[in-house]
Chain A
């Protein structure tokens, strides 16, 4: 007999912003496993190792490509899905949310993630307002992002 459940071993440690590395320990506990007739508490341990990055991300969001099912459901041929938004960035201070699909940015059509990265890094004029067209739950939206953070948003 094998029983699986999540166990909290300790309460979450308060993360201090300036600490640039942390690990997240995820523990599944298997119980009632008999090895050599000795009851042994066996554990599957999964650790994610993180470090604080200083890679500049001008726009302040991480994107993924849409899969085929999403494109068919939304009846669009391209776009980039926002996976997460960095705090205190341009995107963070806009109306955009995780899960939105960016279709146009400052009059540039977004085909996929590589295309959007290229636009963000090479074509966007950060001295001007950035107009973003996006889809949220299939409904079109528009936002004009003002660069309030000057030069380097993230």
Chain B
């Protein structure tokens, strides 16, 4: 029974792109959507264990935070989920 419930939960929540569901857009981005360079490629994904330092580094390069997603989950499908969500928010 426990295994059935586990698979059921996985089926229900496994197909949802949680990056999209838990995305919180920044106010700065909302008000300045047109002031960003157009980019049609894949996003570059940076894995970081010192986010504060890395954030500062990219702020200095002229990057602006457009939003944040945060949730509990499994990272197995992260990359494909990020890329599919990115296609939606880059427009």
Q: Say whether B6 contacts A52, CB under 8 Å.
A: no
A121 within 8 A of B: no
Q: Which of B37, B45, B49, B67 contacts A22 (CB 8 A)?
A: B45
Q: Is the CB of B59 within 8 A of A84?
A: yes
Chain B residues contacting A20 (CB-CB under 8 Å) are 36-39
* A23 and B5 form a contact (CB under 8 A): no
Q: Are B62 and A38 in contact (CB under 8 A)?
A: no
Beta-carbon nearest neighbor of A16 in chain B: B44
| A8-B47, A27-B47 known; A45-B73 Cβ under 8 A | yes
A-B contact count (CB 8 A): 163
| Cross-chain pairs A/B with CB under 8 angstroms, 24 sampled | A9-B75, A12-B46, A15-B46, A19-B41, A21-B39, A22-B46, A23-B46, A24-B55, A38-B2, A42-B74, A44-B73, A45-B18, A45-B75, A48-B51, A51-B36, A51-B39, A51-B64, A51-B66, A52-B62, A52-B64, A53-B32, A53-B36, A85-B60, A86-B59
Which label, helix, strand, loop or mixed, suits the secondary structure of the A interface?
Answer: strand
Report Cα–Cα, A42/B13, bound state, in Å. Answer: 14
- Indicate if the CB atoms of B44 and A21 lie closer than 8 Å: yes
Do A9 and B66 touch (CB < 8 A)?
no
Determine if A51 and B78 form an interchain contact, defined as CB atoms under 8 angstroms apart. no
Q: Is A46 an interface residue (CB 8 A)?
A: yes
Residues 128-153 of chain A: 1 if any B CB is under 8 Å from the residue's CB, otherwise 0? 00000000000000000000000000
The answer to whether B61 and A37 touch across the interface, beta carbons within 8 angstroms, is: no
User: Is A122 an interface position by the 8 A CB rule?
Assistant: no
Bound Cα distance A6, B64 (Å): 25
Encode A68-95 as 1/0 by CB contact (under 8 A) with B: 0000000000000001111100000000
Q: Are B51 and A24 in contact (CB under 8 A)?
A: yes
| Chain A residues within 8 Å of B64, by CB | 50-53, 55
Apart from A46-B68, A53-B62, list 4 A-B contacts with CB within 8 A: A13-B45, A19-B39, A45-B75, A46-B69
Are A54 and B71 closer than 8 Å at their CB atoms? no
Say yes or no: B36 contacts A15, CB within 8 Å.
no
A51 to B86 alpha-carbon distance, docked (Å): 11
Q: Which residues of B contact A54 (CB under 8 A)?
A: 35-37
Q: Determine whether the beta carbon of A23 is less than 8 Å from that of B44.
A: yes
Q: Smallest CB-CB separation from B51: which chain A residue?
A: A26
- How many Å lie between the Cα of A5 and that of B68 in the bound state? 21
